[in-house]
Amino acid sequence: MAAGMVLLSGYTGDENFIDPMCGSGTILIEAAMIANNIPANINRKHFAFENWKDYDEDLYFIIQDALLKKIRSSHFKIMGFDKAPSAIVKAKQNIVSANLEEFIGVHHVNFFNSKKEVFGKTTILFNPPYGERLNVELAEFYKKIGDTLKLNYPDSTAWLITSNIDALKHVGLKTSRRIPLKNGDLDCKFVRYDLYEGSKKASKNNLDAI
């Protein structure tokens, strides 16, 4: 799911990447794999196909070698924030287990108090809390997402997934894409907001609520 969302966003590793509510770091790990062209399951010790009768070990090593040669080094920043210290601890553990600590930084930050501190175009992609029903706090939470993106993250493309379509209306920004996705049993929307440099353009484009 995380890899699918990163691929759907069109992110290829040629700009910065931020997951501002990163939880255990799944989206960051997939983004770093894609940015560096690292083959999926690279750390896996055994595959079921190795038990097949006609398994050809030489061919497997040729294919593995060819894929390993295609690994590149993306020089752009891949960063995660979370306001929960426990999430940051877990994300760091998962990033180390995936051998990706060289490429990903995670920080104990409340997204609503943050601003863009990287230069140039940036992809922001996240999975905020959905909440089960729209209550005042959730409406306020999604409004703060919109305000933070609009005011503090110019020159960025933001993607978020949620099953809470009512909450999404409170973001208050115009979506430039809406993709239906399933997250387990939940019907979700994966939406994109284009955030421009310069408050005039941003506010003109962003006043139209979805």
Ligand X SMILES: C[S@@+](CC[C@H](N)C(=O)[O-])C[C@H]1O[C@@H](n2cnc3c(N)ncnc32)[C@H](O)[C@@H]1O
Q: Which is nearer to ligand X, 87 or 171 (CB)?
A: 87
202 Cβ neighbours under 8 A, 6+ residues apart: 150, 154, 195, 196
Least distance to ligand X from the beta carbon of 82, Å? 4
Dihedral of alpha carbons 180, 186, 79, 111, sign: positive
CA distance 2 to 25: 10
- Residue from 8, 77, 83, 179 in contact with ligand X (CB under 6 A): 83
* Among 15-23, 45-53, 63-71, 163-171, the segment contacting ligand X (CB under 6 A): 15-23
DSSP 84-125: -HHHHHHHHHHHHHTT-TTTEEEEE--GGG----S-S-EEEE
Least distance to ligand X from the beta carbon of 140, Å? 11
**Does 143 contact ligand X by CB under 6 A?**
no
**Does 195 contact ligand X by CB under 6 A?**
no
CA distance 197 to 25: 28
Least distance to ligand X from the beta carbon of 2, Å? 6
- Residue from 6, 18, 21, 79 in contact with ligand X (CB under 6 A): 21
Q: Are 45 and 64 in contact (CB under 8 A)?
A: no
Give phi and psi for 39, each to the nearest 5: -60, 145
Nearest residue to the partner ligand X, using Cβ: 23
- Residue from 36, 37, 110, 183 in contact with ligand X (CB under 6 A): 110
SS3 state of residue 183 = strand
Q: Which is nearer to ligand X, 115 or 200 (CB)?
A: 115
Number of shown-chain residues binding ligand X (CB under 6 A)? 19
Least distance to ligand X from the beta carbon of 203, Å? 23
